[in-house]
Amino acid sequence: MQSLENKILLEGQVLSDEILKVDSFLNHQVDPFLMREIGEEFARRFKDEAITKVLTIESSGIAPATMAALQLGVPLVFARKKKSLTMADQYYKAEVFSFTKRETTLIAVGKPFLNADDHVLIIDDFLANGQAAEGLIDVVQQAGAHVVGIGIVIEKAFQDGGTRLRQSGFRVESLARIASLQDGAISFVKKEKV
């Protein structure tokens, strides 16, 4: 998605060879016009999949996922991050380990919000090692629902989450795919000619 790549080049800050800071439009301040475009693009890519729900994880997934849900005309559900769970049997839950933060988080979705007949589009802001996406897939499968695909705003293609998810058979659509952040320079995966 060209406007997203332009925004990343203009406003993204390379913090290290592995971390891209995009606080000005995605992770802290949110650019609603860009989010609307992102939602439209996800909806365009997944429009034939009879999606009934969009699922993301708090907090930065909520903005792009809401816009996608709006365009698809379905509810958005976001997994909550919990330290511990009271009334645990009322939630589908999974443990997500973050390589970036070196910590494990419990994510939880209330059982009334996912049903066995749901066709779920998972959306997240970043795809790095894929732990968050795998936790969300786990939650959907606990509900007996179907994962239609995974929509990612920014995939760091030099980390292995995208490869693993695709090899497991999931359709992963990333709107920007970063090939490298080495030496402070952002480069994107070259698009295949069709």
Contacts of residue 44, defined as CB under 8 A and 6 or more positions apart, other chains included, come to none
Q: What angle do CA 132, 136, 138 make, to 5 degrees?
A: 115
Q: Which of 3, 24, 66, 129 binds ligand G4P (CB under 6 A)?
A: 129
From candidates 9, 19, 85, 179, binder to ligand G4P by CB under 6 A: 19
Q: How far is the CB of 25 from ligand G4P (least distance, A)?
A: 11
* C-beta closer to ligand G4P: residue 52 or 79: 79
Nearest approach, Cβ of 48 to ligand G4P (angstroms)? Answer: 27
The answer to whether residue 92 forms part of the interface with ligand G4P (CB under 6 A) is no
Known binder of ligand: residue 130?
yes
Which residue, 15 or 88, is less far from ligand G4P as judged by CB?
15
Number of residues that bind ligand G4P (CB under 6 A): 22
The 8-class DSSP code of residue 27 comes to: I
Region of residue 177 (left: phi > 0; alpha: psi -120 to 50; beta: else):
beta
Neighbours of 74 (CB within 10 A): 19
Of 126, 139, 153, 157, the residue at the interface with ligand G4P (CB under 6 A) is 126
CA 149, 134, 30, 17 dihedral sign is negative
Verify binding: residue 56, ligand G4P, rule CB under 6 A.
no
Using the minimum distance from each CB to ligand G4P, give the nearer residue, 9 or 19.
19
Specify burial of residue 175 (Cβ count, 10 A radius: 0-12, 13-18, 19+).
Answer: buried
Angle between helix 2-11 and helix 32-46 axes, rounded to 10 deg: 140
The binding site for 5-phospho-alpha-D-ribose 1-diphosphate comprises 128-132
Using CB under 6 A, list all residues that contact ligand G4P: 19-22, 27, 59-61, 98-101, 125-132, 156, 161
